[in-house]
Amino acid sequence: MSLRLACYAFFMRFDLTDLRLFLNVHESGSITAGARRSHMTLASASERIRGMEDTLGVALLLREPRGVAPTPAGRTLAHHARVVLGQMDRMRGELDHYGQGLKGHVRVLCNTTALSEYLPAVLGAFLKDHPRISVDLEERLSHEIADALRAGACDIGVLADSADLHGLRTRIFRHDPLTVIVPRGHPLADLPSVMLADAAGYEFVGLVEGSALQEHIAHHARRGGKALSYRVRLRSFDAVCRMVGQGVGIAIVPRVAAVRYGRAAGVCRVPLADDWAARDLVLCVRDALPAYAAELVEFALRDAPADASMDASVPSARTAGVREDTRVRTTSPRPRRSG
């Protein structure tokens, strides 16, 4: 049986649980992680995937020591599964306007700053007023978010504008410049600004490995031929600022975090003068969204900068009014991730 006919035969069965499971496995790179995301046991997930492969007559995954990788057939299945599940989510959203019995689900990917500084407040306020919308929120590297949007693997992305945004509909979400924070009395404290190359010789305090922002900074350090030395890695900007205030090292953080936590921590802010540090966070989508997701976009952009005009084609929710189930599930970044 050809792969096309095999896929057709599979989709005639149309088991949405199988499709969702396979996408979760494909995106996490692990059957164990995919099963956890799908809220099923490892044994049940493995059995379902074997059943998919038996139905298609081809292998979908290559089992490797550290996880799984999709075969060409698996990549094809993942592509079509995203389309099918996306259409089902849209159908649920549109029908719920009439029946009020279905739930809307929005998948949001974001970078470190958006996750820690902006989206909790935005989503908390939105979900309080929309008790039937649920949101999956996951941290990723900005370039991974852009790729996921283009692949249809998420609905909304909030990422740095330094990523390749080709093919996406974008609006500025927040201005998000990076700044250096140093202890009071530090040699850099009185400078009007500093380049990363000049700060690289000092000991750093940073976020844990896997942080999207941390990998973003490391990437630019490597491009300049520098390797940053970290004395300690922590899980929050608050902890980073407090550690810097105690004289452990210096750090690079979003200005909004330095302002929020810096005074109590006793740190000084020094603008980071590299071009890549003067960045914006942008909210991106690829296609027209279901009504409930478009409502979330519109709500998130209420406090966007007045000059947020990159691409005003992000759809408005005023033409689509559907509400759904409110639970936010926040997924920590996978071990290899950052940015």
For the chain, list the domains and their CATH numbers: 3-82 (1.10.10.10), 103-171+287-331 (3.40.190.10), 178-277 (3.40.190.10)
Whether 268 shows a pLDDT value over 90: the answer reads yes
Lowest mean pLDDT among 100-109, 135-144, 195-204, 255-264: 100-109
Whether 316 shows a pLDDT value over 60: the answer reads no
HSE-up of residue 82 (Cα within 13 Å, Cβ side):
19
pLDDT in tens, 72-109: 999 988 888 888 887 787 776 666 655 555 467 899 99
**93: nearest Cα among 328, 330, 325, 298:** 325
Average pLDDT of span 255-281: 95
Number of neighbours of residue 124 by Cβ within 10 angstroms = 11
pLDDT in tens, 215-246: 889 999 999 999 999 999 998 999 999 999 99
Residue 276 DSSP one-character state: G
Whether 315 shows a pLDDT value over 60: the answer reads no
Q: How far apart are CA 201 and CA 229, in angstroms?
A: 8
Number of neighbours of residue 214 by Cβ within 10 angstroms = 23
* pTM of the model as a whole: 0.66
**Long-range contacts for 114-117 (Cβ within 8 Å, ≥24 apart)?**
114/158, 114/159, 114/173, 114/174, 114/281, 115/139, 115/330, 116/236, 116/237, 116/257, 117/237, 117/254, 117/256, 117/257, 117/260
Write down the mean pLDDT value for the chain: 84
pLDDT above 90: percentage of residues in the chain: 60
Q: Residue 221 to residues 61, 252, 276: CA-CA distances in angstroms?
A: 36, 12, 11
Token pair belonging to 292: 């409930």
Q: How far apart are CA 339 and CA 319, in angstroms?
A: 35
Lowest mean pLDDT among 13-22, 59-68, 176-185, 317-326: 317-326
Average pLDDT of span 142-146: 92
